[in-house]
Amino acid sequence: MLVFIDADTLVPETLFVRIAEVMKDEKCLGGGVAVEYFPVERTWIKYYVALWLFMARLVRTTQGAAQFYRRSAFEQIKGYDETIFVGEDMEIHTRLKRLAQSSGGRIELITDPKVTSSARKFDKLGMVRTLFFTHPVTMFLAWRARWVWKYWYEQAIR
């Protein structure tokens, strides 16, 4: 198994045990872990994050704060696309879903326990920039344009 955790993400002690339980099923190729954001200083962000999480569950996708893969599946889909500067977590998840569908496998979204990830970017960027930079269309159209993502790289919010 391969497990990827964002640097600003806190992992509950029981998560790795839960991942191992899920992966006992040979048909499970991998998946993701539900995310809670903390601390959230602005009220609108609470609603935005709740909406994002609802939509992610609706379309069965996950953010990359915590993802896990069966090594053979990860190698088959050729891992993360390193030419993508943002949204690579959702892009690889889409390829994993396709592999699961074509091979009779499945993917899992672990909702208990959840990981806790930092909400600092949302708080620091503000509403308009957060809505712009996290919009799927923006991500898809500019995910290979490093200059668009200067807030994630050159001017990283800490």
- Domain with residue 82: its CATH number is 3.90.550.10
Would you place residue 152 in the very low, low, confident or very high pLDDT band (cuts 50, 70, 90)?
Answer: low
* 96 within domain boundaries: yes
Measured on CA atoms in the order 41, 42, 43, 47, is the torsion positive or negative?
Answer: negative
In the structure, what pLDDT confidence band is assigned to residue 48 with cuts at 50, 70 and 90? confident
Do the domain assignments include residue 83? yes
For residue 43, being part of any structural domain is answered with yes
Which domain, by its residues, includes 15?
Answer: 2-119
More confident of the two residues 155 and 96: 96
Into how many domains does the chain fold?
A: 1
In a domain, 125, yes or no: no
Collect all residues with Cβ–Cβ distance below 8 Å to 41 and sequence separation of at least 6.
119, 123
pLDDT of 158 reads 56
Q: Let me know: does 157 contact 125? Beta carbons within 8 Å.
A: yes
Give the confidence band of 147 by pLDDT, cuts at 50, 70, 90: confident
